[in-house]
Structure 1
Amino acid sequence: MSVTVATPTFEHHDLALGIGEVRPRISWTITAEPGWTQRAYEIETRRAGIAHESGRIESSEQILVPWADDDLDSRAAATVRVRVWGQDDAVSDWSSPSEVEIGLLHAEDWTAVGIGAGWHEDTEKDNPPPLLRGLFEVDGPVASARLYVTAHGLAEVEINGRRAGDQALLPGWTVYQSRLRVITIDVTELLVDGANAWGAWMGDGWYRGRFGFYEGGTRNLYGDRLGLLAQLEITYADGRRQTVGTDATWRAALGPITLGSLYDGERFDARRHDPAWSTAAYDASGWAPVAMVEFDLATFTTPDGPPVRCTEELRPKTVTALSGGRMLLDFGQNLVGRLRVTVKGEAGHVVRLLHAEVLQDGELYRRPLRGAAAIDEYTLAGLPDGEVWEPRLTIHGFRYVEVDGWEGRAIEDAVVARVYHSDMRRTGWFETSNPLVNRLHDNIVASMRGNFVDVPTDCPQRDERLGWTGDLQVFAPTASFLYDTSGFLASWLKDLEAEQLPDGTVPWYVPVIPGGDMWTPIRPGAVWGDVAVLTPWVLWSRYADKNVLARQYESARRWVDLVERLSGGAHLWNSGFQLGDWLDPAAPPDDPADAKTDRYLVATAYAAWSARHLAQIAEVLGRAGDAEHYAGLAGEIRRAFVEEYVNADGTLTSDAVTAYSLAIAFGLMPDHMVARAGHRLAALVAESGFTIATGFAGVNVVSDALSMTGHTDIAYGLLLEEECPSWLYAVKMGATTIWERWDSMLPDGSINPGEMTSFNHYALGSVADWMHRRVAGIEALEPGYRVVRFRPEPGGGLTWASARHLSPYGEISISWTHEQAVLTVELVVPIGVTGIVYLPGTEPVTIGAGTHRLHAELEETR
């Protein structure tokens, strides 16, 4: 096999168009014979037809290697290719070239000005969103054209009647007062010679729409006027350049959308819609002048991760006729997105689409939506050949849709659910011989997709959908196995730092919105605030990007320093408001924080864990003094924890599953007491009949704590239990996503009466990280999986399991079977990665790139 270098990538971008890194780091994967290793590389950068070669660089690095040319600047484009040398000093062919292009980086790059509707609006209610429209001329053959666009609110741009790009909910949700994304779209193919028109559908979105769970939500979170800023830059075949942008010549009008709300849905009156509105032939003489809208160019930033897109389409699994001519559609999967319908009927006829996650007594059960109406309405234009419609300005969380007013063709052939989420690259898969476990894992994947919609939300359906920091903190390791979250979470962490208070307090959710006395003003809380330290560490361990540690270091340090001050000289964080082990199944529905585990034990345990990780971050960054200081602090907190919460017999003052799980997993027990703590944890789990007894603070560590203390069999019992509360209880009840509560649906099929009852919350799915590492047996030992540990731990009656992960170096996979007391393991290791294999009863084996097959005799046969 010859050595092949894959097309290189830049930073964490799948498509490096309109990025902001002027010296983008480069990564590549390699295909070669087993045993081949990289000795050196060379990078060729071609800009404006001129090639620059780095020359041979002696290095085995292939992930995020430094840019090897002069800095790029606004609009600059380059193609890059790579070749490598092996230990035999033979050189590979050049890789295929990869393209990178920078967006607009400076305020002086902009000649366009912000615009919006010129008429008066009542800012205390929903207003029909405007259409904005402009004209320009194209004079000659076009070589390329770039649209740079951002908005106060949402914008979907059309040029000559065709949509520009495929991004949804543009420009996404960031802390707008600090960071407003500018999106770059290649629109070369949309232009025509001569007269051209362009325009934008506008929407309230997060910017000014009703949003939030407190007192019906808050309007005008960031401003009360919608605005569009768009600049089109055309490069002609003869080298000329032309720039046009939003300006005072644009016109505005009310369009067919009479309501566009993320919570309440979209209303579209097709009688008011002319599809030619964004073409040059359309007569816009009746449109009104636009008004100028000011944008703060200093807040402009480029995207770090992928946009929200439609990634899948689902047809109804069943259609049920209801009373009054209504139709009930079941898509067989709880999802996030919206419907596309093909309808035919008389002008003025209205079709209503009502969304919900669950049924009760055969009807939609919409109480869990709380204040989110989640209703879309389409008023037909009466076109003789039928009409196709999909909302633009809303998304919903749903499995079921009630359709009222349907006319025309068979509904099962005329409706499709379109799934939307941030279009991250899938990187992780897992499967076993147990179908229920596989369904559980599928549910975890589905919940992640539904809640990774520009920010990592808690739930996608009700009047909330916020970036809860604790939820993400416990789920980040799982998320970063399943998908490439590097850019997505790096962006959100920037927003977290922007919202962090000067004293170090991390908000409960990011971006911050009003939440009443309980959630705002912002106050510190363990588990949630620790995301500032622990999630950057996850990104470092999974993607080997030291930059994210450097960028987030001050944010992490300020959090740990704050907790140290709050803990005082005793190093016990035992005062103030804490959520503790949120949603412990023993907690009453009206008080989810009333857990079995002392909330201050949870807070102190997390204080030690974050201090320990901050010391490790400081060490990676070469901050020796800080590393020593925070390692010492972690030791002091550990000693205080032992004195306060550990009894002389190795039990804890909180004799509860989460307490033992945290103490063991976080390394807080004295060495001679770890085994006793593990036995007590195992006993508590067994005494409960293997039902779960943890909330958000313990769910991601309980299985590991059991495995760490030799009780993997008990961890399997916990995983495979089917009675409520348990992971498989929800599966047996028909769940297709992870629930917020262990008993969001009660055994009799009724819905939990608690106010917070979501059927799509990923936090309790954080057990998948243990499944990947312990059941299948893939774990990163060095950042970016440069060294990977293969350590399958068969149990639970499983006869086989497999997992694969697309690491920065390429695909890593494991597949094991357990037959007649013999464990057979097949492994795949990519170039650049070293594997260490731990099989029962054998010494560790180090393996290199290639495919490997190993066997081990299981203990019970000896």
Structure 2
Amino acid sequence: MQIQTVLIENQSCPLGIDCEQPAFSWSFAESKERGNYQTAYRIIVSDNEQSLEDDLGTIWDSGIVKSRRNINVLFQGEPLVSRKRYFCKIQAWDQNKKMMESQITWWEMGLLHQSDWSAEWISKHIMEDGHEIQPIPLFRYGFNIEKPVKQARIYISGLGHYELRLNGSKVENRVLEPGWTNYNKTCLYSVYDVTNYLSVSTNTIGVILGNGFYNVTGGRYVKYKGSFGEPTFIAQLEIQYDDGTRSVITSNTNWLSSLGPTTFSCIYGGEDYDARLEQLGWDTANFSVNDLWKPALKAVPPKGKLRAQKTPPLKIMKTFNPVEMKEIKPNVYVADLGQNFSGWIRLKVKGFRGMTVKLTPAELVNEDGSPNQTWTGSPYELNYTLKGVGEETWNPCFTYSGFRYVQMEGAIPKGFPIENSNLPQLLSLEGQMIYPDFENSGDFESSDELLNRTHELINWAILSNTKSVFTDCPHREKLGWLEQVHLMGLPLIYNYPVESLLSKVLDDIKDAQLQNGMIPTTAPEYVVFEEPWDIFRHSVSWGATYILAAWMMYQKYGNSKVLQDHYENMKRYIHFIKNRSKNYIVKDGLGDWYDVGPNGPGFAQNTPVSLPETAMFFHLVQVLERITRALNKNEDTQAYIFLSQQIKEAYNKEFFNPFTSQYATGSQAANAMSLTLGLVDDPYQSKVLQNLVDDIVKRGFHTTSGDIAHRYVLLALSDNHRSDIIFKMTRNTDYPSYGYQIEHGATALTEAWDGPTVGKSQNHFMLGHIEEWLYSGLAGLNYTFDPIKEAYQFKINPYYENTLQWVKTEQVLYTGKMYTHWKLVDNNRLSLEVQLPANCSGEVYIPAVSITDITENGVSIDEAEGVKFQRFENGCIVLKIVSGHYHFESIPLNNEKEKSDEYPIVPNTL
């Protein structure tokens, strides 16, 4: 058993941590040995490496702690100091009392106090040219270094976005920095290691300052127009020299500013660049400053508090080249990049000075092949004016969009006839996809291509909408609509390392919460929906993310800190809902938004709005009661138990018909949410479930549910052993279904069930709930961090569909990698491979009549190491296993058992 990696605040060797209690997590290397687990740990933190090598914790020594916990262990040492680098290592003891030790790692603190900032917020000199929209400004500052540099850091925040440059080079490859926030509450800064960018000579810092969401000027398409103020930035370069001395370079009015070649920039409307306005070398020491450069102005600081950015930086993570290029009319061309994604376009051209190339991206094209921006906001365009010197390469810096197609005007693509034309030649065009710099933490694959394509469809939409917030769409709105965060929370967690992003969502919600406790439907809340459209502002299923995402982080990451940090505000939200309800029924909101009905996608059609709103109210109270138990808030526990009882009674009185066992209209949404969220009394549960099943079967295995309820439809079926119904739903390729979208050309999940044909956004992940079932239902991967055992507990209970050949998943947890792979071989014999990381245990469900029908790695269960029979349950033998790799084989029962009435209704475990 070996420690593999150590993370501090979910990161490896992070710069700029500004929390007072960083969290430590460590993983274990894969091993063929079974039953490895941690019995104790010791965290040693020092301010120098030598002390660690001698096992001395000059800052903190946890001592030997008898515990299996290896994730989110909070620092308990002496107060941490701004800028300081701390070194740490982990010692752990296995079940045989053998000690293992990690490599020494480190983290570096950011600027913890406002007094740590000596820099000033600055902005560009006022240019009185009469235009409301002005070019993006450049800033520069020159300074000398006369002795060798040991270490250099830049702490910088530029609002809305910035690009940092040093001595003619861009510093790192981050884009769209910093993350979006409510700038009146929080402004994020980043830390860069610039040691290798400096030289012992004259140096120059350069900053390009964009508008972002801080300053939405309009001029073309905008979702909203508004500003927190004139774009501004603060920068502090701190240099440590080999001789032990230190100097600080700060942003102030000694910096110079000039207008740059980006003549238009809007996060919504696009960007224009005139290369003729470039000032070559403006960010280098050799540049001769001219009259275009004026002293920067001291700016009014933003109201928000400076906080270190803790989410992974956005970067260009994938690139796409055209799969097809067409000339749709003379000198107008459309490129198909083959995939709908979010990002921007990079082009390379060659031509005469002053000629302009216009790019119009779109998700869809019209019948004549031209771009269709009906559903993405129009006009959105990019314009590049050539300087006429050699090959010119450009991409925008402060805008992005979702698109698949690109129309080009003003240039002739390479490979097309260019005779008798003075137009520039387009040498190349590339789509660059932007999302956070992280690796997949999970994957799903099966023998069924339709399931695989559905998984891919959903994940393209997830990545396209994962920026510094989880957006609803990457074009028309770019807003952080909250409902999808909890409804799609498990797919996010299964596929990507999103703990820090979820933590930022909670911070954004905290900043957005109103004094009366209300949580807006979007966070940050840039668009405020006033009466009579305030139902778009206060719907419970959107505000629910505050409580449900925090609880999810506790269950999946063992993160109790988010519960502590946000608990009082969660209580305020419940108080708001209670006060707004009438006899515990929440009367208005958005309900099951985008459900399937005769009027097309939009407002709920099948279910009274008050039912989902009240059901979610009940669910939030129940979850908050569990949070009180986790935090030992015993007095609050009883209050929420009583409140949940009151809501349940009122709910059933309002919506339930005991004669028909139907809720409200009997819609799938009404029955499924009632069942899954624990609102159905025991005598009626099987009948309500049957009503749900009957409705789905009657409709040809199609859903009628929408954004809110579809997850609960799938959970009601899966949790109650009707995955056979879900699987049949995945077979559909007619409307409404995921297959319909695939059959009609979608390459990312669309906003509406019939998105490719009805229109709307072609890149939304809000309806991707089947992804949770692919992992937890079909592959059977379920796990929770058990706070009592202080370790992950797994439940591997796949739905073995006998028309599939195989299904496999991977999941990388903080503890290590887990793996499941089931397949049907040799006359329907079941083969199941499972790998649990060290320090974990779990239960495996294998369909069999008798334990003698199962072998593990060729031997009987009684002889298998690390395997213990637990019980017979619902047609399965349940085996307890410890960490390690296992290969089970059995003869499965006929899947008709999946439909049996013998199965009990599963109580709410959300």
* TM-score normalised by the chain length of structure 1: 0.94
**Partners of 1:830 and 1:303 in 2: how far apart?**
31
- State how 1:585-624 maps to structure 2 within 5 Å: 585-586=596-597, 588-589=599-600, 592-624=602-634
2:46 matches 1:46? yes
- State how 1:343-382 maps to structure 2 within 5 Å: 343-369=349-375, 371-382=377-388
- Where 1:601 maps in the other structure, the secondary structure is helix
2:7 matches 1:9? yes
Identify the residue that residue 247 of structure 2 maps to in structure 1.
242
Change (3 A) 1:63 1:547: same
Deviations 1:82-131 (A, max 9, x none): 22222222222x32222200111111111211111111468994321111
Change (3 A) 1:763 1:511: same
2:679 matches 1:668? yes
Identify the residue that residue 490 of structure 1 maps to in structure 2.
503
- State how 1:466-481 maps to structure 2 within 5 Å: 466-481=479-494
Identify the residue that residue 283 of structure 1 maps to in structure 2.
288
Identify the residue that residue 28 of structure 1 maps to in structure 2.
26
AA aligned to 2:498 is T
Mapped contact 2:160–2:213 kept (Cα < 8 A): yes
- State how 1:101-140 maps to structure 2 within 5 Å: 101-120=108-127, 125-140=132-147
Identify the residue that residue 204 of structure 2 maps to in structure 1.
197
Identify the residue that residue 470 of structure 2 maps to in structure 1.
456
Out of 62, 68, 74, which is 1:66 matched to? 74
Change (3 A) 1:681 1:412: farther
Change (3 A) 1:836 1:381: same
Displacement of 1:248: 1.4
Mapped contact 1:306–1:424 kept (Cα < 8 A): yes
**Partners of 1:700 and 1:652 in 2: how far apart?**
17
Mapped contact 1:22–1:73 kept (Cα < 8 A): no
**Partners of 1:327 and 1:11 in 2: how far apart?**
48
- Where 1:765 maps in the other structure, the secondary structure is coil
AA aligned to 2:678 is G
AA aligned to 2:540 is A
Displacement of 1:408: 6.7
Displacement of 1:781: 3.5
**Partners of 2:614 and 2:20 in 1: how far apart?**
42
- Where 1:618 maps in the other structure, the secondary structure is helix
Deviations 1:183-222 (A, max 9, x none): 1011111111111111111111100124799x95443331
- Where 1:198 maps in the other structure, the secondary structure is strand
Deviations 1:283-330 (A, max 9, x none): 113211211113258611111211211111122222222212222111
Mapped contact 1:48–1:78 kept (Cα < 8 A): yes
Deviations 1:532-584 (A, max 9, x none): 2111111111111000111121222122222222234x3222x2x31111111
Mapped contact 2:49–2:87 kept (Cα < 8 A): no
**Partners of 1:541 and 1:364 in 2: how far apart?**
48
- Where 1:456 maps in the other structure, the secondary structure is coil
Structure 2 unaligned residues grouped into runs of 5+: 416-424, 848-874, 898-910
Identify the residue that residue 580 of structure 1 maps to in structure 2.
591
- Where 1:669 maps in the other structure, the secondary structure is coil
Mapped contact 1:269–1:379 kept (Cα < 8 A): yes
Out of 508, 527, 543, which is 1:514 matched to? 527
Mapped contact 1:675–1:709 kept (Cα < 8 A): no
Identify the residue that residue 632 of structure 1 maps to in structure 2.
642
Displacement of 1:56: 3.1
Change (3 A) 1:255 1:298: closer
Mapped contact 1:505–1:523 kept (Cα < 8 A): no
**Partners of 1:296 and 1:276 in 2: how far apart?**
31
Out of 549, 552, 557, which is 2:566 matched to? 552
AA aligned to 1:13 is Q
- Where 1:610 maps in the other structure, the secondary structure is helix
Change (3 A) 1:122 1:524: farther
**Partners of 1:46 and 1:314 in 2: how far apart?**
46
**Partners of 1:607 and 1:297 in 2: how far apart?**
33
**Partners of 2:318 and 2:27 in 1: how far apart?**
28
**Partners of 1:29 and 1:255 in 2: how far apart?**
47
- State how 1:674-753 maps to structure 2 within 5 Å: 674-746=685-757, 751-752=758-759
After TM superposition, the structure 1 stretch with the greater mean CA deviation from structure 2, 809-818 or 792-801, is: 792-801
Out of 130, 135, 141, which is 2:148 matched to? 141
**Partners of 1:361 and 1:796 in 2: how far apart?**
43
Displacement of 1:587: 5.3
Identify the residue that residue 902 of structure 2 maps to in structure 1.
none
**Partners of 1:311 and 1:783 in 2: how far apart?**
35
Change (3 A) 1:458 1:244: same
Identify the residue that residue 184 of structure 1 maps to in structure 2.
191
Displacement of 1:66: 3.1
Identify the residue that residue 427 of structure 1 maps to in structure 2.
441
Displacement of 1:20: 0.9
* TM-score normalised by the chain length of structure 2: 0.89
**Partners of 1:799 and 1:424 in 2: how far apart?**
31
2:828 matches 1:821? yes
**Partners of 2:691 and 2:128 in 1: how far apart?**
64
Mapped contact 1:799–1:818 kept (Cα < 8 A): yes
Displacement of 1:631: 2.3
Out of 324, 327, 335, which is 1:329 matched to? 335
**Partners of 1:15 and 1:162 in 2: how far apart?**
24
Out of 766, 774, 792, which is 2:798 matched to? 792
After TM superposition, the structure 1 stretch with the greater mean CA deviation from structure 2, 25-34 or 169-178, is: 25-34
RMSD: 2.2
- Where 2:538 maps in the other structure, the secondary structure is coil
After TM superposition, the structure 1 stretch with the greater mean CA deviation from structure 2, 46-55 or 591-600, is: 46-55
Mapped contact 1:440–1:727 kept (Cα < 8 A): yes
Structure 1 unaligned residues grouped into runs of 5+: none
Change (3 A) 1:190 1:407: farther
Mapped contact 2:133–2:264 kept (Cα < 8 A): yes
Mapped contact 1:642–1:670 kept (Cα < 8 A): no
Displacement of 1:798: 1.9
Identity %: 27
Change (3 A) 1:241 1:255: same
Identify the residue that residue 850 of structure 1 maps to in structure 2.
884
Change (3 A) 1:49 1:851: closer
AA aligned to 2:880 is T
AA aligned to 1:842 is C
- Where 1:75 maps in the other structure, the secondary structure is coil
Mapped contact 1:345–1:407 kept (Cα < 8 A): no
**Partners of 1:22 and 1:343 in 2: how far apart?**
50
Displacement of 1:42: 2.5
Displacement of 1:14: 4.3
Displacement of 1:412: 9.2
**Partners of 2:648 and 2:131 in 1: how far apart?**
52
AA aligned to 1:555 is N
Deviations 1:481-515 (A, max 9, x none): 11111111111211111111122211011111234
Identify the residue that residue 86 of structure 2 maps to in structure 1.
78
Displacement of 1:170: 1.3
**Partners of 1:124 and 1:663 in 2: how far apart?**
57
Identify the residue that residue 525 of structure 1 maps to in structure 2.
539
Identify the residue that residue 648 of structure 1 maps to in structure 2.
658
Out of 244, 264, 270, which is 1:265 matched to? 270
- Where 1:147 maps in the other structure, the secondary structure is strand
- Where 1:183 maps in the other structure, the secondary structure is strand
Displacement of 1:701: 1.4
- Where 2:711 maps in the other structure, the secondary structure is coil
AA aligned to 1:838 is Y
Aligned residues: 843
**Partners of 1:541 and 1:641 in 2: how far apart?**
28
